[in-house]
Amino acid sequence: MLKTFRIGGIHPKENKISAGKSIQNIEIPEQVIIPLSQHIGAPCQPIVKKGDKVKVGTKIGKSVGYVSANIHSSVSGTVLKIDKALDSSGYRRDAVFIKTEGDEWDESIDRSNNIKREFDLSSEKILSKISEAGIVGMGGATFPTHVKLTPPPGTKPEVLIINGVECEPYLTSDHALMLEKTEEILVGTTIIMKALKVDRAIIGIENNKKDVISRFRQLIKNYPNISVEELKVQYPQGGEKQLIDALIRRQVPSGALPISVGAVVQNVGSVFAIYEAVQKNKPLFERVVTVTGKDVKQPMNILARVGIPLNNLIEKTGGLPETTGKIVSGGPMMGKAIASVEIPVTKGTSGILIIPTLEAKREAMRDCIRCSKCISVCPMGLNPTLLMNLTEFEVWDRAETNHITDCIECGSCSYICPSHRPLLDYIKLGKGRVNTIIRARKN
């Protein structure tokens, strides 16, 4: 039997329409808007000003604070202004506007396509390169990678887990990347193993990506410390804690980090970015974005530079279908509906999903019938209906003792609820409040 995590989980229709499609390039527009906050943590400080000339890969935003990541220009040209622009949060935030002139890359970047396998760098040097390149978790959470790869004192990583699960329906960007950059990802994995000083790595892939699994198994002979595990298709297997449970049968305790069970998890997108940063000196300024949807003319995987408006990507796939009801940035489960197609691609944009009107409508909420489906699907073993009620009535102490802060916001509860109750919407709100209360208490 195939491995999977043990608590809860659902299996929504996969709808991987763009699976197996090769990665397409997209034209660089005349102007790009690069948000200064593309990661969890403090926004960047701009280090360019109006009129400055930048090249592809020039650092334009300096990270401030420990949890933050540098931002680099994705085009060559002139800085038009630093102003507020609408981003995927739906709020206007600081961004750098750059007028494109040609496509001149920074000299230090190795643009060749050949795979560079050898590296001779110390763990510290690797981490500083990752930090400098502004790499963040590319599965969508956008947590700065150098922070994640620096285990807190007193902990020791034992195993590196590479997340090639891509459990979100529709999305295929990781799939496409793993198919085309298999060996690069393996080299990237050895780099991270060196940085973490671990001697074992497991790549977890769901078995709806058989082509990727066989491709990895072919190449893995040269990498004795890396193994590939085929996993049963189950959402939310791409969650760190679920993946750790599925692969090494260890459960991360409530409130603890994966490192507490000796595991560090990295998304394949981040691994590829780390390969490029360490071996090719290339900072993170482009990523693979899936543009998909049932009525999209040509769903595809696009290698898009950060700062290109989402509209350009949609146009490339044949334009916005007439039936469009909702445009979601990310996957259908955890993604977020966006208010405008003018917002730019960021480091965390894994996909653009265009949902037809008929499917986009939210059903009216009805009363809870106590069927407990939400409890049985919750991968964290929580009681979503109780947590929703506690949030609604602002009973924060009980919400805390019922582990509201453990919620990974996967949305399985809202998906399964036969009464269409907005469980996750409330739990997210309650989780935020309880976290604020806990922080206030600590200070």
Partner 1 sequence: MSVLLTAVATLGAIGAGSAAILYMVGQKFKVEEDPRIQEVQDSLPAANCGGCGFPGCAAFAAACVKAETLDNLYCPVGGQATMDLVAGILGQKAPVTVKKIAVVRCSGTCENRPRTNLYDGVSNCTIASALYGGDTGCSFGCLGLGDCVDSCTFDAIHINPVTMLPEVVEDKCTACGACVKACPKDIIELRKQGPKSRRIYVSCVNEEKGGVAKKSCEVACIGCTKCQQVCPFEAITIENNLAYIIDDKCRLCRKCVPVCPTNSILELNFPPKKDKPGTQIEETATIKA
Whichever of 188 and 309 has its CB closer to partner 1, that residue is 309
Of residues 182, 187, 135, 190, the one with CA closest to residue 160: 190
Return the amino acid letter for 417: C
* Residue 291 near residue 315, CB atoms below 8 Å: no
CB of 341 to partner 1, least distance (A): 11
* Nearer of residues 23 and 429 to partner 1, judged by Cβ: 429
| Closest CB to partner 1 among residues 84, 297 | 84
Residues of the shown chain interacting with partner 1 in the complex, contacts defined by CB under 8 A = 84, 86, 89-92, 336-337, 339-340, 361-362, 365, 422, 425-426, 428-429, 432
Nearest distance from C-beta of residue 16 to partner 1, angstroms: 26
If the CB atoms of residues 123 and 340 are measured against partner 1, the closer one turns out to be 340
249 Cβ contact partners less than 8 Å away, ≥ 6 residues apart = none
83 within 8 A of 65, measured Cβ to Cβ: no
Q: What is the DSSP letter of 6?
A: S
Contacts of 3 (CB under 8 A, 6+ apart): 229, 230, 231, 232, 246, 247
Shortest Å, Cβ 429 to partner 1? 5
Of residues 116 and 428, the one with the C-beta less far from partner 1: 428
CB of 106 to partner 1, least distance (A): 33
Q: CB of 53 within 8 A of CB of 60?
A: no
What is the C-alpha separation between 166 and 206, in angstroms, rounded? 8
Nearer to partner 1 by C-beta: 46 or 430? 430
Least CB distance to partner 1 at residue 207 (A): 34
DSSP state, residue 326: E
Count CB neighbours of 348 within 10 A: 22
Q: How far is the CB of 338 from partner 1 (least distance, A)?
A: 8
Kindly tell me the sign of the dihedral angle through the C-alpha atoms of 354, 355, 356, 362.
negative
Question: How many CB atoms are closer than 10 A to CB 207?
Answer: 14
Q: How far is the CB of 18 from partner 1 (least distance, A)?
A: 26
Minimum CB separation of residue 438 from partner 1 in Å reads 18
Nearer to partner 1, 127 or 416 (CB): 416
Supply angle C-alpha 25, 28, 30, rounded to 5: 165
Q: Are 283 and 108 in contact (CB under 8 A)?
A: no
Task: Using the minimum distance from each CB to partner 1, give the nearer residue, 156 or 361.
Answer: 361
Omega prior to 236 cis, within 30 of 0: yes
